Amino acid sequence: MTEPFEPVTAAILVIGDEVLSGRTRDTNSGHIATYLTGLGIDLKEIRVVSDDEASIVEAVNALRARYTYVFTTGGIGPTHDDITADAIAMAFGVGIDHDPRAVAMLRERFTDPADLNEGRLRMARIPFGAELIANRISKAPGFILGNVMVMAGVPSIMQAMLDVVGPTLKTGVVIESATIRADAKEGDIAMPLAAVQRAHPGVAIGSYPYVDETGFNTNLVLRSRDGEALAAAARAVKAMLSALRK
Amino acid sequence: MTEPFEPVTAAILVIGDEVLSGRTRDTNSGHIATYLTGLGIDLKEIRVVSDDEASIVEAVNALRARYTYVFTTGGIGPTHDDITADAIAMAFGVGIDHDPRAVAMLRERFTDPADLNEGRLRMARIPFGAELIANRISKAPGFILGNVMVMAGVPSIMQAMLDVVGPTLKTGVVIESATIRADAKEGDIAMPLAAVQRAHPGVAIGSYPYVDETGFNTNLVLRSRDGEALAAAARAVKAMLSALRK
C-alpha cells in the first residue's frame, strides 16, 4: 500500500529492575500502546532496561534517532535508584539542575518547607531545555526533551501525564481493524489465508492462535488505514472460511 | 560487591504486532522473568518488535552478542505472518528448510497425511544447525540456535517449551530478596534510604512507590546474592524506618 502521509512512529522505554526480575508486571506499555493506536501513531518497539545509566542512555539514543516519539516510564522519583532524569540529560549531552518551574510545582503540594526536603527536590532536577509535563496527582512533573517524553512509573501518574502529552502529539491516520474468529485451527487455514493476504496487500492480516476450553482456535485480525480495502479483505476472509466449512 | 562467579545474563525478544497494537497483553515476558530469576539468571533486557524481518534480525543480533541467552516468543506458527524461523536463520546467516526431526514430530500429531498440509509443514522449517525444543502440547517444536531459544507465542505452549529448555541452561547464584513495606511516602525516606544504600553497597535497594486506597506508600525491595549482606541491609532499613517514626 502506498501511504499518502508521513507515518508517525513511537517506541516505549520501560526503565525498571522490578519488571526484569518478574516482581512487577509492566502494565504501562499496554496502556500506552492502546492510547497511541487510538491516535494513529504506530508503536514500533518496546524496550525494558534496568536501572542502569549506561543501559538507559544507549536505549534512549537508539530509539530517539529511529522513531518520531519515545515514551519512557519509571525512575523519576525521589530515591537514589531514580536515575532517569540524569540518564536522559547524559543521552542528550545537556546539563541538569533543579528547575525553578518544577520546584514551584512541588511547592504547591508541599507547603511546609520541611516536607520539601532534599529527596523530594531531586524530583525537580530537569535536564536543560526540557518542557515540563504537569502531574495532577503528585505534582512532581515529567518532562519532554526533544522527541522524548519522560513519565512516571506509577500507572495512575503515568496515565495522568500521558493525558497531558497526548493532545500535543502529531497524529496519524488511525488504523482500522476487524477481528474474525476463525473457528478453525491455524494449520487448517494457513494456505488459503496466505492467498487472501497476497490478494489484499493493503491490509495486514495477522493470525493469532489461542487455546481455550474448546481447544485450539484462531483470531484473524485485519488492519488497514483504508476502510474499503479492509472491508474487501474481511469479505474475502469470511468467504474463505465458509468455503472451508463446506 | 565482587562477584565470585560469571553472571549468567539473558534477554527476551517478543515478536508480535498484536502486542504493539495494544490488542494483546504480553504475559510471556513476566513468566520468563520469574522463571529466570528462580535460576539465578539475570534478565537484563526485554524488547518487543513487530512481525518485520529486518527488525527481528537486528534485535536478535544485538541481543545474542550481548547476553548469555536470548529467549524469543512468537511467530513460529503455520501462517504467512509467522516469519521468526526465517528471520533467525537470516540473523545467523544459515540456511533453513524442512527438518526431518520436526516433520516426524508433526507426524505424531497429524497421523492423517491430509492434515499435515503445506501450512503445518511450515512449522517444521528449522534453521540449519538448530536443536529442537519439544512441545508436548501441539507438537510443533521450537528450536535452539547458538544461544537463542526460539519459542511459541501461545502462553501454554511457550511455558511447556521453557520447561524443556530450563534444565539445560547454565544457572547463576540465585538473588535473594527481601521486601519491606515502608508505610511512608518515598519522599519522606529518600535521603536516609540513600544513606543505607551507601553503607550497604553489596545490596541493591529499590524503592517502589504505589498508590492504594490508603494513599501513597512505598515498597522497599532489597536484592543480593549474599544472604548475610542482605540481612544486614534489611536490619538497617528497618532501623531507619523506626527512627523516622519516632
Residue-range domain boundaries for chain B? 9-168, 176-245
CA closest to B209 among chain A residues: A154
Nearest CA-CA partner of A197 in A224, A160, A166, A165: A224
Taking only the tens of pLDDT, chain A with its 246 residues reads 445 568 999 999 999 899 999 988 999 999 999 999 999 999 999 999 999 999 999 999 999 999 999 999 999 999 999 999 999 999 999 999 999 999 999 999 999 988 899 999 999 999 999 999 999 998 999 999 999 999 999 999 999 999 999 999 999 999 999 999 999 999 999 999 999 999 999 999 999 998 888 888 999 999 999 999 999 999 999 999 999 988
Q: Which residues of B touch A177 (CB under 8 A)?
A: 21, 23
Q: Do B206 and A81 touch (CB under 8 A)?
A: yes
| CB–CB contact A20 B35 (8 Å) | no
Alpha-carbon gap, residue B144 to A234, rounded angstroms: 37
- Residue in the structure block whose three cell numbers are 487455546: A211
Q: What per-residue confidence (pLDDT) applies to A5? A: 67
Query: Position A138: which residue type?
Result: S
Q: Which CATH number fits domain B9-168: 3.40.980.10, 3.40.630.30, 2.20.25.90, 3.30.2130.10?
A: 3.40.980.10
Closest-CA distance, B146 to chain A, in angstroms, reads 23
Query: Are B79 and A207 in contact (CB < 8 Å)?
Result: yes
Cβ–Cβ below 8 Å for B208 and A24 = yes
Question: Under an 8 A CB cutoff, do A48 and B45 touch?
Answer: yes
The rounded mean pLDDT for chain B is 94
CA distance A133 to chain B (A): 19
CB under 8 Å, gap of 24 or more: what pairs does B138-141 form? B138/A216, B138/B109, B139/B105, B139/B106, B139/B108, B139/B109, B140/B76, B140/B77, B140/B78, B140/B102, B140/B105, B140/B106, B141/B101, B141/B102, B141/B105
> Which of B25, B177, B205 has its CB closest to that of A81?
B205
Determine the pLDDT at residue A2. Answer: 47
Predicted pLDDT at B2: 47
SS3 A143: strand
Those residues with Cβ within 8 angstroms of residue B84's Cβ, 6 or more apart along the chain or in another chain:
B15, B56, B72, B74, B75, B76, B150
Does residue B5 register a pLDDT over 60?
A: yes
Closest Cα in chain B to A217? B154
Residue of B nearest to A43 (CA): B20
CA dihedral B111, B116, B120, B122 (to 10 degrees): 120
pLDDT at B1 over 80: no
- Distance set, CA B219 to CA A153, B184, B214 (Å): 14, 9, 14
Other residues' Cβ atoms within 10 Å of the Cβ of residue B4:
7
Topology, domain A176-245? Alpha-Beta Plaits (3.30.70)
What is the rounded radius of gyration, in angstroms, for the C-alpha atoms of chain A?
22
- pLDDT for B246 beyond 90: no
Please list, residue by residue across B165-181, b when 16 or more beta carbons sit within 10 angstroms of its beta carbon and e when fewer do. Answer: bbeebeebeebebbebe
Q: Chain B residue closest to A157 (CA)?
A: B211
Q: Which residue of A has its CA nearest to B36?
A: A21
* HSE (side-chain half, CA atoms, 13 Å) at A124: 20
CA distance B210 to chain A (A): 6
Beta carbons within 8 Å of A98's beta carbon, 6+ residues apart: A121, A124, A125, A126
Fold match between A9-168 and A176-245?
no
What's the whole-number mean pLDDT along residues B44-65? 97
Nearest-by-Cβ selection for A210 from B33, B154, B191: B154
B162 Cα to chain A: minimum distance (Å): 15
How far apart, in Å, are the Cα atoms of A149 and each of A121, A129, B75? 20, 13, 31
Q: How far apart are CA B44 and CA B64, in angstroms?
A: 12
8 Å CB contact of B48 and A46: yes
Contacts of A204 in chain B (CB under 8 A): 17, 81
Count interface pairs A-B at CB distance under 8 A: 205
Chain A hits for B22, CB-CB cut-off 8 Å, are 30-37, 43
pLDDT score for A157: 95
B188/A117 touch (CB, cutoff 8 Å), yes or no? yes
User: Cα(A244)–Cα(A31) distance, rounded to whole angstroms?
Assistant: 37
Supply the pLDDT for residue B216: 87
pLDDT in tens, B69-100: 999 999 999 999 999 999 999 999 999 999 99
Tally of CB atoms within 10 A around A212: 7
Position B15: which residue type?
I
- Helical H runs in A148-211? 155-165, 186-199
Burial class (CB in 10 A: 0-12, 13-18, 19+), A86: middle
Q: Which residues of A touch B82 (CB under 8 A)?
A: 207
Query: How far is residue A73's CA from residue A48's CA, in Å, rounded to a whole number?
Result: 10
Q: How far B1 CA sits from the closest chain A CA (Å)?
A: 16
Q: Is B173 within 8 Å of B89 (Cβ atoms)?
A: no
Smallest CA–CA distance from A66 into chain B, residue: B55
Of B26, B77, B187, the CB nearest to A186: B77
How far does the CA of residue A136 sit from the closest CA of chain B (Å)?
A: 14
Nearest to A119 among B17, B18, B187 (CB): B187
Question: What's residue A152's pLDDT?
Answer: 97
Q: Which one of B186, B200, B220, B224 would you mutate to disrupt binding with A, by most A Cβ within 10 Å of its Cβ?
A: B186
pLDDT digits (tens, 9 = 90+) for B120-143: 999 999 999 999 999 999 899 999
- B-chain CB neighbours of A37 within 8 Å are 21-22
Cβ contacts of A17 on chain B, cutoff 8 Å: 204, 206, 223
Q: Which residues of B touch A54 (CB under 8 A)?
A: none
B149-203 per-position pLDDT tens digit? 999 999 999 999 999 999 999 999 999 999 999 999 999 999 999 999 999 999 9
